[in-house]
Amino acid sequence: MSADLPSFSAPARSTRSVSGPLAVVLCLLGLAVNCAIIGPGASQRALEGRNDFRQFYIGGKLAGSGSSYRQSRIVEAQREAFGYSNLHLTPVRLPFYYSLLSPLARLPYRLALLLWTAGTTLAALFFVSLYPGVQRRQFAIAGCWSLPLVFSITIGQDVSFILLILAVTLRSHYAGNRLLGGFILSLCAIKFNLFVLLPLLFLGKREWRLAAGFSLGTILLLALSFLAAGPGWIRQYMALILDPAVDPNSPLMPNLHSLVAHIPGSGFVEVFLSLTVMVLVWCIVRRARFDVALAATLLGSILLTRHAYLQDCAILAGSLVTLFETLGSPLVRSCALVLLLPFAYLFILIREGAVVAALYLFLLGAVGYAEIRGLETRGGS
1 located within any domain: no
Does residue 184 share a domain with residue 151?
Answer: yes
| Distance set, CA 115 to CA 48, 107, 108, 111 (Å) | 14, 10, 11, 6
Who wins on pLDDT, 263 or 232?
A: 263
Q: Per the structure, how many domains does the chain have? A: 2
How much is the pLDDT for 89? 85
Classify 76 in phi/psi space as left (phi over 0), alpha (psi -120 to 50) or beta.
Answer: alpha
238 and 263 belong to one structural domain: no
Is residue 15 over pLDDT 90?
Answer: no
Q: What is the per-residue pLDDT for 7?
A: 41
Full residue range of the structural domain in which residue 48 is found: 19-245
Structure confidence by residue, pLDDT tens digits, 286-321: 999 999 999 999 999 999 998 899 999 999 999 999
Q: Cα 19 to chain center, whole Å?
A: 29
Q: Do 29 and 55 lie in a common domain?
A: yes
- Please state the rounded mean pLDDT for residues 53-74: 89
Sorted by sequence, the CB contacts under 8 Å of residue 307 that are 6+ apart come out as 193, 247, 253
Is 80 contained in some domain? yes
Q: What is the pLDDT of residue 42?
A: 83
pLDDT mean over 160-164? 97
Each residue of 208-249: pLDDT tens digit? 999 999 999 999 999 999 998 888 888 888 888 777 766 665
Q: Which of 218, 245, 272 is the last residue of a domain?
A: 245
Last residue of a domain, one of 223, 245, 267: 245
pLDDT reported for residue 64: 84
Per-residue pLDDT at 36 exceeds 50: yes
Please give the pLDDT value at position 246: 64
Share of the chain above pLDDT 90, in %: 74
Is 186 in the same domain as 214? Answer: yes
Nearest to 252 by CA among 346, 348, 155: 348
Q: What is residue 375's predicted lDDT score, i.e. its pLDDT?
A: 55
Do residues 124 and 188 both lie within one domain? yes
Q: Which of 78-87, 162-171, 355-364 has the lowest mean pLDDT?
A: 78-87
Q: Dihedral angle at the C-alpha atoms of 349, 355, 357, 358, nearest 10 degrees?
A: -170
pLDDT surpassing 80 at residue 5: no
- 49 and 108 in a single domain? The answer is yes
354 part of a folded domain: yes
| Residue 342 Ramachandran class (φ > 0 left, ψ -120 to 50 alpha, else beta) | alpha
Q: 219, 245, 271 — which closes off a domain?
A: 245
State whether 33 and 110 are in the same domain: yes
**For helices 40-47 and 147-154, angle between their N-to-C axes, nearest 10 degrees:** 40
Please check whether residue 9 lies inside any domain of the structure: no
Q: Output the CA angle 183-146-252, nearest 5 degrees.
A: 90
* Percent of the chain residues past pLDDT 70, beyond the cut: 93
- Residue 371 forms part of a structural domain: yes
* 1 has pLDDT over 80: no
